[in-house]
Structure 1
Amino acid sequence: MPKVKIELKGIETLQREIESQKNLAPVKEVVAKHGALLRKRTQAEMGAAYVRGYSTGATSRSVTDTYTNGGLTAIVAPHTEYFAYLEYGTRFMDAKPTLTPAFNYQKIQFINDLRKLTKK
């Protein structure tokens, strides 16, 4: 039975290339940038949408951006218990979406910035 010999040439170069691809710092920067921009845009949308006399600004002040998964995940959310009623409405109140339009705008910018990273 013949012996089969497999020889890999350039394995060191391949390993270096793989290691260089693991640098996620630019991705984390993009996530942080757009997480902060989403928070600011959401707060701006709230300032424009919540203009009734009973509006206190509590929901806008409650919006936070937190980062998990080693900086690869941004979570932007308001923390008032009634935010869902404002965003989606009730049978007595029309919806005043603020987070959804802000997200829909910011996701396009986020994807464009990530695409720029892959072209480098």
Structure 2
Amino acid sequence: MAKITFQLKGARELQRAIAKRPMMMATQTKTIVAKHGALLKTKTAQNMAAAYTAGYSTGATRRSLSTTFSNAGMTVAVAPHSEYFAYLEYGTRFMSARPTLKPAFTYQSVQFVNDLKKMMK
């Protein structure tokens, strides 16, 4: 089974500015990371509720969503843990794709970067 990974790499200038700021900046950054991790999980679950409406849909993939923090709270991972999520997200030759995580990530990453930029002002 293929492992699906999405990453958002920040602008180098933004990363340098955060590194130069005092500890308060790190606390604010952790708060922003936690906020947008939770929002990403919520948006993904909403997308799943809207996309997975067939009669055989049980909600197992939506319930399998988890949020994991690492790197001292500076990194968050939102991921479903059902074995067949990749098939739902990307489709197969027999089934069309029903993307839920990627659209949520695309939307939330813009909001995340905007909040980081506001913090830098």
Shorter-chain-normalised TM-score: which range? 0.7 to 0.9
Q: Show the counterpart of 1:39.
A: 41
User: How many residues matched?
Assistant: 102
Structure having greater relative contact order (Cα 8 Å, sep ≥ 6): 2
Gaps of 5+ in 2: 1-18
Closer, same or farther in 2 for the Cα pair 1:115/1:20, shift >3 Å? closer
Aligned partner of 1:101 in structure 2 is 103
Cα RMSD for the two superposed structures:
1.4
Q: Find the partner of 2:31 among 21, 29, 32.
A: 29
3-state SS of the aligned residue for 1:71? coil
Using the TM superposition, give the Cα deviation of residue 21 of structure 1 relative to its aligned residue in structure 2, in angstroms: 2.1
Shift, 1:51, TM fit: 0.2
- Normalising by structure 2, report the TM-score: 0.81
5+ unaligned residues in a row in structure 1: which ranges?
1-17
Structure 2 CA distance, aligned partners of 1:52 and 1:93? Answer: 13
Q: In 1, distance between residues paired with 2:20 and 2:45?
A: 39
Q: Counterparts in 2 of 1:41-120, with a 5 A limit?
A: 41-119=43-121
Give the alignment's TM-score, normalised by structure 1.
Answer: 0.82
Name the CA shift for 1:35/1:89 in 2 (closer, same or farther; >3 Å): same
CA distance in 2, matches of 1:114, 1:41: 20
Larger Rg: 1
Alignment-mate amino acid for residue 76 of structure 2: A
The structural deviation recorded for 1:41 is: 0.3
**In 2, Cα distance between equivalents of 1:74 and 1:20:** 21
Q: Encode CA deviations 1:68-115: one digit per residue, 9 max, x unaligned.
A: 000000000000000000000000000000000000000000000000
